[in-house]
Amino acid sequence: MRALNALLPAGIVVTRAACAEDSFDPRRDARSRSYEYCVLNQQIRSAFEFRYSWLVRDPLDLRAMNEAAAVFLGEHDFASVRSLGSAEKTTVRRVLASEWHCEGKFLTYRVEATAFLRHMVRTMVAAMVDAGRGATTREQIAELLASRNRALAPAPAPACGLYLVEVRY
């Protein structure tokens, strides 16, 4: 693995490898994927963390964000939180885990699903941060999800805080 990691960009690290069948398709054979999104919740940006998290200066209510995160659990049509112009055959996805954790000034969102749509996680994060700011409610997020209307959703959160952390096969 050291040789493989030496060939990869610094932002990608292989931690484990195994033999697979020739028919193995890493995208279609995955049972679930997990992403984390990091929010730095403080007034002043960090010279060290600005590339790795979204700076949100407003105070955030973690409880409200977790209530909003619960809306996404289960099987739903996520058309309202995807990128427009996506070519997916279906926008129905099953979210297995959706929860925020706080450690100091960092709020980390962890989401696991059977599959994701383009910009789905970042748009969900933006909606939940709005809930944490008190600008929207859990009920409004549920209405957004049910509407299947992308125009009603907030702009996606910045890409800098999003990380693929696990793929399960």
pLDDT tens per residue across span 121-168: 999 999 999 999 999 999 999 999 999 999 999 999 999 999 999 999
Contact (CB, 8 A) for 159 and 38: no
Return the number of other C-beta atoms located less than 10 Å from residue 127's C-beta: 28
User: What is the structure's pLDDT at 88?
Assistant: 83
Burial bucket for residue 169 (CB in 10 Å: 0-12, 13-18, 19+): exposed
User: What is the structure's pLDDT at 84?
Assistant: 79
pLDDT band at 26 (very low <50, low <70, confident <90, very high): confident
Dist CA 65 CA 57 (whole Å): 16
Residue 19 lies in a domain: no
Residue 99 lies in a domain: yes
User: What is the structure's pLDDT at 86?
Assistant: 72
Residue 96 lies in a domain: yes
Burial bucket for residue 157 (CB in 10 Å: 0-12, 13-18, 19+): buried
For the whole prediction, is pTM greater than 0.85?
Answer: yes
Domain hosting residue 121, numbered range: 25-168
User: What is the structure's pLDDT at 110?
Assistant: 98
Contact (CB, 8 A) for 125 and 113: no
pLDDT tens digits along 89-101 = 899 999 999 999 9
User: What is the structure's pLDDT at 87?
Assistant: 76
pLDDT band at 62 (very low <50, low <70, confident <90, very high): very high
Domain count, the chain: 1
User: What is the structure's pLDDT at 27?
Assistant: 87
Amino acid identity of 133? R
Residue 101 lies in a domain: yes
For residue 53, give the CATH number of its domain: 3.30.70.660
Residue 85 lies in a domain: yes
Residue 18 lies in a domain: no
